[in-house]
Amino acid sequence: MQRPFPLPQEDFSLKETAPRLGGGGLGGGDKLTNTYDLVEQMQYLYVRVVKAKDLPAKDVTGSCDPYVEVKLGNYKGTTRHFEKKTNPEWNQVFAFSKDRIQASVVEVVVKDKDFVKDDFMGMVLFDLNEIPKRVPPDSPLAPQWYRLEDRKGEKVKGELMLAVWMGTQADEAFPDAWHSDAATVPGDGLANIRSKVYLSPKLWYVRVNIIEAQDLLLNAKPGFPEVFVKATIGNQTLRTRISPSRCPNPMWNEDLMFVVAEPFEEHLILSVEERIGPNKDEVLGKAVIHLQKVERRFDCRVINSRWYHLEKHVTADGEQKKEVKFASRIHLRLCLDGGYHVLDESTHYSSDLRPTAKQLWKPSIGILELGILTAQGLLPMKTKDGRGTTDAYCVAKYGQKWVRTRTIIDSFSPKWNEQYTWEVYDPCTVITVGVFDNCHLQGGDKANGAKDNRIGKVRIRLSTLETDKVYTHSYPLLVLHTTGVKKMGEVHLAVRFSCSSLLNMLHTYSRPLLPKMHYLHPLTVTQLDYLRHQSTQIVSTRLGRAEPPLRKEVVEYMLDVGSHMWSMRRSKANFFRIINVLSGLIATGRWFGQICLWKNPITTVLIHVLYVILVLYPELILPTMFLYLFLIGVWYYRWRPRKPPHMDTRLSHADTAHPDELDEEFDTFPTSRPPEIVRMRYDRLRSVAGRVQTVVGDLATQGERFQSLLSWRDPRATALFLIFCLAAAIVLYVTPFQVVALLTGFYVLRHPRFRHRLPSVPLNFFRRLPARTDSML
């Protein structure tokens, strides 16, 4: 498939906006509280149906099956119905958006559920012009009893307790209310569209130090026994190496690391096994340890070791198993390591860096407030009734707190206007906001395994924000497909980072980024990769069990689960990032080359003068350097970034990636592509790796040449170098350092007429030094 032509770069830009935050939709003196000052006000009509009493009987049993229908224009919401009850209690809230109100009267009708046609029992009418207004922190409006009326306005038997008011999304009834925007969603799907706050489970590292075992009953087989220990927690399984001691008392002294989440649902199962043949192991004994009983530590102190008895399972009477306890035991040192931060995100954009143990937390330094306003120009994500539609919701993640907005049904320009806050403990952290399409509106199992579609996400680093400033921008939602980068729309956010203490925040820049256990007792890169994978699996599983669930595909997209996989596009992007970082040094080198070649004689003469001053007064070198850096920083202040960072397609090389490179990036692991495509990609990777191999070999060659200066690998070269060193030592001893520095500087800056095009003598000598390349196969 041919990749479509990429969109112009300006379509991917960040746009500054000026929304009317927290401002005046309730009339003259009314205003939103500070809790909702980062969003636009949205007006709603709220109807709380509390209960009814003395309802008339409608069937032969002398009872009724009542429910309430709240009707406003074309919108209609109903409560659940009760069977055989004349005094039902519902306590349900209905919210109608004021922007879509086309009627002047709200009808609250009580009906009796029937097989053929529901019977009318009575109603209460409210004129919208007479409904009171309420804004928190005002107390909730007290419900009142209203006498039911028939369709002619005459009183009938039965009363209904109601509360009706005009409010905003700041009302505490808003999150759990039935919304007129979701009138087409069935009752069992309403839970999947409401806003919700989730907390990630508290994660711990479990350190299992396997020391030794004693009195094992080994199998009588020729050769030395091969004994190892397999440790399992849930779906995590690790094993030690085979013990080097060939006896019934093997020793390992090996650490195994696991991730667990509170509350602890799994046990640690240790299995001592002996290899008795190829791919055939026999269990010598097992020990089951409850994690609730494992000691917790917050530092590097040594945990006391313990002996645990091993139990062996033997088969008796066919399939029946029984336990036989015997004298074998295993020596362990177990602990829950609370001094680490359990990494479930990439360290490049982590939202939390605190250790697991709450006792080690530092005080918070500020508050992060996020207003999720609207989205614009969303693309259709699915087809319904023959037309494209999108049911969008947002998820924001910072620290252990996840928030999910309500789902706006069938809208390409949804308006959420929801505001959330987080405590900030470190400014060098990142908040992630993702937009998704809800594919579970039917509730229950009716989605048939459908996954919520990703629309795009935004990352904002807090350290790039000025304190107490409100940033309102429209961020492009970019998603990479196999056909190229695609703009799925824009999300409108308002962000404010408030600092409680400037000194405390500045002090965090002097502290280590991670808790001290990461430096005192560091984990290997392999361990960190494995533990991060397990952490993301645990978090996605736990949040997927919430109600409503935060689904696995959403959590994994927010945590960038697949970011560690190979990608030719990312490799190119990272290479050019390195080139961009080195471009300053390269530009400085070119500028110095022009100085040496006297391209601008006036500048070269000034450099000579400055050099002479610094040589004669060396105490000015460091002050001059730092003053120069200070002046550069002050000069660049005029062009400081005024907007938060956002996804950059040019930096990511997303707009120039070849279609085959993108197809490779989206390939599964292990691959699912045909053999000929895999062969082609393997050959391409070999060619790239060959170039990298050449560069690495050249670097090794230069280093080995430095080593050969004194190694006598080339005796004549080493003798020449030693003679030069002795002569240089004598000359530098009798010659003042300033004279040597001046002569060296003037030699380097000499005029081109005194230069030769041939390489210098020191460079010729260095290139002739031997390396170990001639010893390689």
Six-digit token string for 660:
């085959």
CA distance linking residue 182 with residue 166, whole number of Å: 19
**Residues 260-296: pLDDT tens digits?**
999 998 999 999 998 888 888 888 889 999 999 999 9
Q: CA 70, 190, 389: angle at the middle one, nearest 5? A: 100
Cβ neighbour number for residue 257 with a 10 Å cutoff: 20
Six-digit token string for 433:
């906001």
Whether 423 shows a pLDDT value over 90: the answer reads: yes
Whether 454 shows a pLDDT value over 90: the answer reads: yes
What CA–CA distances, in Å, run from 711 to 648, 705, 775?
A: 50, 10, 16
User: Which phi-psi region, left, alpha or beta, contains residue 565 (left: φ > 0; alpha: ψ -120 to 50)?
Assistant: beta
Residue with tokens 């494992």: 294
**Residues 233-256: pLDDT tens digits?**
999 999 999 988 878 889 999 999
pLDDT computed for residue 304 by the predictor? 92
Whether 316 shows a pLDDT value over 70: the answer reads: no
pLDDT category at 375 given cuts 50, 70, 90 is: very high
Stated pTM of the model: 0.84
**Residues 356-371: pLDDT tens digits?**
999 999 999 999 999 9
pLDDT computed for residue 444 by the predictor? 55
**Residues 96-129: pLDDT tens digits?**
988 888 888 999 999 988 877 888 889 999 999 8
**Residues 159-177: pLDDT tens digits?**
999 999 998 888 888 888 8
Residues 14, 474: contact at Cβ < 8 Å?
Answer: yes
Residue with tokens 């459908």: 450
Q: Where is average pLDDT lowest: 3-7, 336-340, 555-559, 630-634?
A: 3-7
Beta strands in 425-469 (DSSP E): 430-437, 453-461
Mean pLDDT score of the chain:
86
Average pLDDT value for residue range 502-512: 90
> 236-239: long-range contacts at Cβ-Cβ below 8 A with a sequence spacing of 24 or more?
236/534
pLDDT computed for residue 447 by the predictor? 58
Which of 169, 170, 123, 163 is CA-nearest to residue 145? 163
**Residues 669-692: pLDDT tens digits?**
788 888 898 888 888 888 888 888
Average pLDDT value for residue range 219-245: 87
pLDDT computed for residue 443 by the predictor? 64
Whether 414 shows a pLDDT value over 90: the answer reads: yes
Whether 324 shows a pLDDT value over 60: the answer reads: no
More confident: 651 or 109 = 109
Average pLDDT value for residue range 335-362: 92
pLDDT computed for residue 217 by the predictor? 81
Whether 140 shows a pLDDT value over 70: the answer reads: yes
Whether 145 shows a pLDDT value over 60: the answer reads: yes
